A and B are shown apart, each in its own frame.
Chain A
Amino acid sequence: MKREAQEVETIDLSDLLSRVALQKAAGDRLIAISCATVEGTYEITYSFEDRDHRFTHLRIVVPPGATIPSVTPSFWGAFVYENEIHDLYGITVTGINVDYGGHFYTTKVPFAFAAAASPKAGPAGKETGEE
């Protein structure tokens, strides 16, 4: 069994658009944009693949309430990921080509995956207050 190399490069937010444009110019495919809450900040990871299956990732780290630019000028189909990140995490994405204005997903709790909405996991992994 082969395991793919995990090539994650953390970049500055200010470099995001230029680096994503470079990936596009290199002929890469956007595989996904993922978001994770880590110690009160958000890791947003842009994953790409080239024609030889090389799997690479660009990552930015932003605080809650941050505004990030849309990468849809480079990758038109990225709007599904960016609307999802907005609706689940409350991160504002400016310049999306198809902006659902917060109506991509319907969730019971607004921004259900945001840092403030995450349960506090104890060492045993149980939610605080849960028996």
Chain B
Amino acid sequence: MSRQIVIPFGPQHPVLPEPIHLDLVMEDERVVEALPSIGYVHRGLEKLVEKREYKDFVYIAERICGICSFIHGMTYCHAVEGVMDLPVPPRALYLRTVWSELSRLHSHLLWLGLLADSMGFESLFMQAWRLREHVLDDLEATTGNRVIQGVCKVGGVRHDVDDRKLHEILDGLDEIRPQLDDLVNVFVRDNSVRHRLGGLGVLTEQQAWELGAVGPVLRASGVANDIRQTGYAAYDELDFHPVVETAGDCYARTVVRAKELFTSIDLIRQAVETIPEGPVEMKVTGNPKGEFYARSEQPRGEVVHYVKANGTKNLVRFRVRTPTFTNIPPLLEAMKGIELADVPVVVLSIDPCIGCAER
């Protein structure tokens, strides 16, 4: 047996936008075991629920993450609305669905660009981010903001989007569709991409399920699990099938995310074409009492927001379980047996969001 050494990876590394540290136990060039350390950006956001009124706390929930900001805000609202059993107007639920899918589009394009960059495929990185700008423009045009949209509220959404603007979004997505096809074609078919990612960081279906993997990491291992299937927001009225791959490697995770771009566009189209008329918010009075677990499918996977309330303006407890947090144990398994040079790509393949994970 070779002598084992420990190589520190992170918390600062060119491939990591956010800090996570891994102690890599190595035998020659192969990883035998990886031990993670987080805690560099722990903000204790959940504790703030004791100082902010439940309606105002949406502002904090939206700031858990800068990429899936809207979905965090929406899931928090779903949790509070669940405690209070509020009948949210259907049009608001459809708008939430449209914004959720725009968030997924821009997040997946961001990740695909980062992946290309980590492989040294600079032109592909630039193409992905160029297309992402188009989606961010749509978010800005319909919410007023590019990053923290600030448009969700308990009982609905803050403002309506007229049908003309909604159809402009569809027209814009039609316009970039050929470019998206070209982009996805490279990620799925290009030999250099397949060679770099194929067979790397493999998670079997059983490992992914038992270790708690979620989102594209789970679906890339052959499990057709997508929280949108539970029918939150307007998803119960839209036709939708999860994208599933079976190889469980970095390439499969890439293909899942790439194909999900088109699923999102299709869902936006269905939502825009069937969105009902009506109000987009309801008057919310009184304080919540009880508890509720709400789940949503973020771009990185399932997020859980738990709220517990005692009838005052402040919640007793707010708890978030983010997808990256639960994807850490599967990542450790996926890293066993890979070479040191592959570590950055495998880490990136779970689309880590450490700020999100530590809250």
- Is there contact, CB below 8 Å, between B295 and A55? yes
Contact flag A6-B291 (CB < 8 Å), given A76-B329, A112-B44, A121-B50: yes
Which B residues are in CB contact (< 8 Å) with A104? 37-39
Q: CB < 8 Å: which of B37, B210, B291, B316 contacts A29? A: B210
Q: State which size class the interface on A falls in.
A: 35 or more
- Please give the distance in Å from B25's CB to the nearest CB on chain A: 13
Q: Tell yes or no: A26 within 8 A of B by CB.
A: no
Task: Report chain A residues within 8 Å CB of B189.
Answer: none
CA distance A103 to B35 in the complex (A): 13
B329:A1 contact, CB within 8 angstroms: no
A123 to B287, CA, bound (A): 11
Q: B7-15, B111-119, B232-240, B260-268: which one contacts chain A?
A: B232-240
Q: Is A70 an interface position by the 8 A CB rule?
A: no
Interface centre among A24, A32, A38, A105 (most CB of B within 10 A): A32
Contact B291 A34 (CB under 8 A): no
| Cross-chain contact of B50 among A29, A107, A118 (Cβ < 8 A) | A118
Name the B residues within 8 Å of A32 (CB-CB).
304, 319, 321, 326
Q: How many residues of chain B get a CB closer than 8 Å to chain A's CBs?
A: 52
Seen from chain B, the residues whose Cβ lies within 8 Å of a Cβ on chain A are 35, 37-40, 42, 44, 46-47, 50-51, 53, 78, 82, 88, 90, 93, 209-212, 225, 227, 229-234, 236, 291-295, 302, 304, 306, 308, 312-314, 316-317, 319, 321, 325-326, 328-330, 358
User: Other CB < 8 Å A-B pairs besides A1-B90, A77-B210, A105-B38, 15 of them?
Assistant: A1-B93, A1-B236, A2-B232, A4-B295, A31-B304, A34-B306, A36-B317, A75-B212, A80-B328, A98-B35, A105-B39, A105-B358, A106-B40, A107-B44, A112-B47
Closest 5 CB pairs of A and B: A77-B329, A2-B231, A125-B314, A125-B313, A36-B317
Which A positions have Cβ atoms within 8 angstroms of B? 1-4, 6, 8, 24, 29-32, 34-38, 45, 47, 51, 53, 55, 57, 75-77, 79-80, 98, 100, 103-107, 112-113, 118-119, 121, 123-127, 130
